[in-house]
Amino acid sequence: MNRQALEIGRVLRASTVGFSVGCRVNQLSAPGFGSLVKAQPAEARETIYGLIYNINIDDDQLIRRLVMVESPRQEVIEDQRRNRLLPIEMSVLSIGYQLYDQLTYGLPPRPPLNLDPVTLCQDPEEVTRFTDNLSYLRLILRAAGSSVPVDQLLVAHINDVYLIRGKDAAWALSAIHELIELLRSNYDILIPTLEALSEAVPELELSV
Amino acid sequence: MTLEFEQLASSMDKMVQELSRQQNRQKAQLNLVLEQLAAYAASWEEIEEKIGRAVVLADEKYYRSAVPLHHSHPLDQGIPPSNPPIQATIVACDGSQIVPDRHAPFLYYLINIGTIAYYHGSGDSPDVFTAPTLKYPGADELDEDDLFTLNSALVSLWRDRFEIEALQDTIAKARPHTGPQLAILDQRLLYWPASGLPGREGQKVVEAWQQAMTGIREAGACLAGYIDRPGKRSVLTMLHSLDIDQPGFKVSELYRSALYAGLSDIDLYDPILAPGERSPVFLDISQHNNTFRGRDKENEVCFFYLRTGEGKRQLARVDIPMWVARNENNVKTVHALLYDQCAILGSYPYVITRADEIAVVGRRDQEELENRIALRLADLGMEARMTAKQQSKEFARGGKTRHEGY
C-alpha cells in the first residue's frame, strides 16, 4: 500500500546528531513519540531519517494568563491553536540517511537545512526497507545518557514499526534479539526495555 | 554608563515627600467631589442649566466638561452589566509603525495594522487580518496622499487613520453571524491630532476618521473607543462647574490643573463602581466634540467609565458615539460585551490584546525586513550602510561574550 507522504512540519534547526521540527497544531495529529520521520530536501541532498524523541509545546505570557481563567472560551482556545504562531517543536534523533538509492545507517555527512520539509514515514514499503537492516539501533543506543529517553523510545519505535509492517512478529523479535546482543552489558536499559515491550506488544509473548 | 544613584538620593527624598503631600491633598479633594456628586446625583435639570451657563461663560478652547446623557440613573451609583448577547461579532484593531530613521541603512517607514474579528458565542476561531504598508522616497509621488515624510508624528497620524479604516473594512468582511456587531478601537473616539502637526494633514485625518465612524454606523455596527487608565477630568470639571453660583466662582479656575490636585474622573468612580459596573453615560462637552457634531451629529462622542477588575483604579473609559449612546439597549450591549471580553484575561479586553499582538512590529521583524531589502539591493549590485553614528551606537550597546576557558 502506498500512502502519500504526510508533511508534519519543517526543520527549525539541526546538527549532525539530530534536528528540531516546527509544526502547527493541526499538523500534530499524526506524528507521535517514536515515529520514524525524514527530512526531505527538494534538491539533491541527503534525506535524513530520524525518530521523534521529544515533543515540546511552549507557553507564553498570554497562555499563562488564559490557563488561570476558570472556563476558557472555545473561541479563545481556537484562536490560540489556529491563529497564534507558537510552533510545536519536535526533537528528532538522526538514525540514517539516503542519497539517491543508497541507504546508510550512520550519522549523516551534513544535517538538514532550516525549513527543509519533514514527512512522516507511513508507507509500509519504505518503513520495511529502512528497518530490515537493524544497524540503526546502535545509533539509538548511542544516545543513552543524554536527554533522549532511550528505553521508552525503543519501545515506542518497535511497537510502531511492528504495526506498520502488518504486525510483523518476526521482525519485532529480531529487533529484540539485536537489542539483547547490543545491551548485554547494560542491564539498566535492557531489562526495563524488555519489560515495557512485553506489556506494549503482549502477542510477542516475551518472558523477561 | 551606570546610573549614579548617590547623586539622586536628595532628589528622591524630596520627590517622596512631595508625593506624600499630594496624596493627602488628593484625599481631601476627593472627599469634596464625592460629596458634590452625591448632592447632585439626580439633579438632572439643575446640572443641565448650570453647565449650560458655564459653557457660555467659558472659553470653548479650554473648557472640557460633561453632562449626563440619560436621566434614569443616579450619578453616584454603578450600573451592573447585563448578560452579553448569546452571539455577537466583535472587531478590534490596532496599529504599529516603524518611523523613518536618517541613520538607518534605508529611508522608509512602515505602518502595520492588525485586526481581529471575534465571533462571540460561536465556538469558532476568530479571523485575523494584517495590512502592512511600506513607504519610501519616490513611491507614488504623483499622489499627494502618498508623499514620503520624515515626520514621525505624521506617520503616527496616518497609522491612526489606517486603524479606523481597517475597522470599517473588517466590519464589512467579517463572517455573517447572528447578533450585534461591535467595533472597538484601542483609543479615544474624539480624535484630534496633537498640536504642532501640519494643520492640513491633521484636518484630512480627522475628516477621514469621521467618515469611517459614519461608515461603521451605516454598516449597522456599534462603535466604542476603549481607553485604559484614562486621565480625563470632564466629570470633575462638571462637578466644579456646579458651584457657578457660589461667591468667588471663576470659570477660568476650571482650566487650572492645580484645582484637581492630580485627580481624574477614575478617582471619582474608583470607590463607587464594583467590578463590571459602569458609570452613567455622559456627553462630552468640548470644542472638538462641537466640531464632530457639526460634521455629523450622530458622531458626537459620549462616554462612560467601566470597572474592569478588582484592583485599585482598574477602570477604563469607553467612548461611544451618539448613535450608540442614545439607545439604552446599545449601551447595554457594549457594556456587557466589553466586560465579558475583560473577564477572559482578567481586566483587559481579549480582542484588543490580540489586535495589538497581531499589529506589533518588533525589533526582529524590523531587522528581517531590512535584511531582505539589503539582499534585494545586493542582487542589483548595490550596498546599504547605516550611518557611522548608528554603527557606533550598535557597537557600544552590543552584548558581551565571555572566554569560556577549558
* Distance (Å, whole) CA B57 – CA A166: 92
A81 and B125: CB-CB below 8 Å? yes
B128 interfaces chain A, CB cutoff of 8 Å: yes
Instruction: Give the nearest chain A residue to B121 (CA atoms).
Output: A75
Chain B residues lying within 8 Å of A71, measured CB to CB: none
pLDDT digits (tens, 9 = 90+) for A57-85: 888 888 888 888 878 899 999 998 888 86
Chain B residues lying within 8 Å of A65, measured CB to CB: 345-346
- What is the pLDDT, as a whole number, of residue B90? 97
Residues in chain A: 208
A166 interfaces chain B, CB cutoff of 8 Å: no
Instruction: Give the nearest chain B residue to A84 (CA atoms).
Output: B358
Distances in whole angstroms, Cα of residue B379 to Cα of each of B187, B328, B366, B367, B370 = 43, 61, 20, 18, 14
Domain ranges (residues) in chain A: 6-203
Q: Is the dihedral of CA B178, B179, B185, B191 positive or negative?
A: positive
* Distance (Å, whole) CA B253 – CA A29: 68
B345 and A66: CB-CB below 8 Å? yes
- The pairing of strands B315-321 and B301-307 is antiparallel
Q: How far is B293 from chain A (nearest CA, A)?
A: 38
pLDDT digits (tens, 9 = 90+) for A74-130: 999 999 888 886 778 999 999 999 998 899 999 999 999 988 999 999 999 999 999
Indicate the SS3 state at residue B306. Answer: strand
Mutate to test the interface with B, among A73, A81, A84, A86 (most CBs of B within 10 A): A73
Chain A residues lying within 8 Å of B360, measured CB to CB: none
Mutate to test the interface with B, among A66, A83, A114 (most CBs of B within 10 A): A83
B119 interfaces chain A, CB cutoff of 8 Å: yes
Instruction: Give the nearest chain B residue to A63 (CA atoms).
Output: B345
Kindly state the cell numbers that stand for B16. 517622596
* Distance (Å, whole) CA B225 – CA B245: 35
B344 and A81: CB-CB below 8 Å? no
Residues in chain B: 406
* Distance (Å, whole) CA A105 – CA B379: 41
DSSP letter for each residue of B193-226? PPTTS-HHHHHHHHHHHHHHHHHHHHTT-EEEEE
A78 and B346: CB-CB below 8 Å? no
* Distance (Å, whole) CA B210 – CA B323: 13
Would you write out chain B's pLDDT as a tens digit for each of its 406 residues? 688 899 999 999 999 999 999 899 999 999 999 999 999 999 999 999 999 999 999 999 999 999 999 999 999 999 999 999 999 999 999 999 998 888 877 888 999 999 999 999 999 999 999 999 998 887 655 455 556 677 888 889 899 999 999 999 999 888 887 899 999 999 999 998 876 555 788 888 999 999 999 999 999 999 999 999 999 999 999 999 999 999 999 888 888 877 788 899 999 999 999 999 999 999 999 999 999 999 999 999 999 999 999 888 999 999 999 999 999 999 999 999 999 999 999 899 999 999 999 999 988 888 888 888 888 888 888 876 655 566 666 666 656 555 543 3
Q: How far is B341 from chain A (nearest CA, A)?
A: 10
Classify burial at B2, counting beta carbons within 10 Å of its beta carbon; exposed 0-12, middle 13-18, buried 19 or more.
exposed
Residue A100 identity (one-letter amino acid):
Y
